[in-house]
């Protein structure tokens, strides 16, 4: 692969995260999580458990995003339960 092609290569990281929030702060936690870049809420229980995904580009690191979840007021814990990393370099090479 030549240098100009390598600059066009991008990567994406998708993490599935189980967030446990204080049930009394659940609405506020949902609002704060929804404002974080790349975060999508998929399920919420009245007990304060949320299933979220965090989509990242290669500029941001998944670990940093997981730490941002921990910093949200009302979040008791955030555990990554799934991680998928995809580099589309192979896809670009096959399309040439």
Instruction: Quote the pTM value.
Output: 0.76
Domains of the chain in sequence order: 11-95 (3.30.70.920)
CA distance 70 to 83: 18
- Does residue 1 register a pLDDT over 50? no
Which residue would you say has higher pLDDT here, 95 or 3?
95
Residue the block writes with tokens 């290669």: 58
Confidence label for 60 from pLDDT (cuts 50, 70 and 90): low
CA distance 50 to 55: 16
Confidence label for 85 from pLDDT (cuts 50, 70 and 90): confident
36 Cβ contact list (under 8 Å, min separation 6): 65, 68, 69, 72
**pLDDT for the residue numbered 72:** 97
Q: pLDDT of 10-53, one tens digit each?
A: 778 889 999 999 999 999 999 999 999 889 999 999 999 999 99
């Amino acid at each position: 692969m030549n240098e100009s092609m390598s600059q066009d290569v991008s990567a994406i990281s998708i993490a599935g995260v189980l967030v446990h929030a204080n049930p009394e702060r659940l609405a506020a936690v949902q609002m704060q999580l929804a404002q974080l870049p790349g975060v999508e809420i998929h399920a919420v229980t009245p007990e304060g458990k949320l299933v979220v995904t965090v989509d990242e580009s290669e500029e941001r690191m998944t670990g940093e995003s997981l730490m941002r979840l921990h910093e949200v007021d009302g979040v008791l814990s955030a555990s990554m339960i799934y991680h998928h990393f995809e580099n589309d370099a192979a896809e670009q090479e096959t399309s040439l």
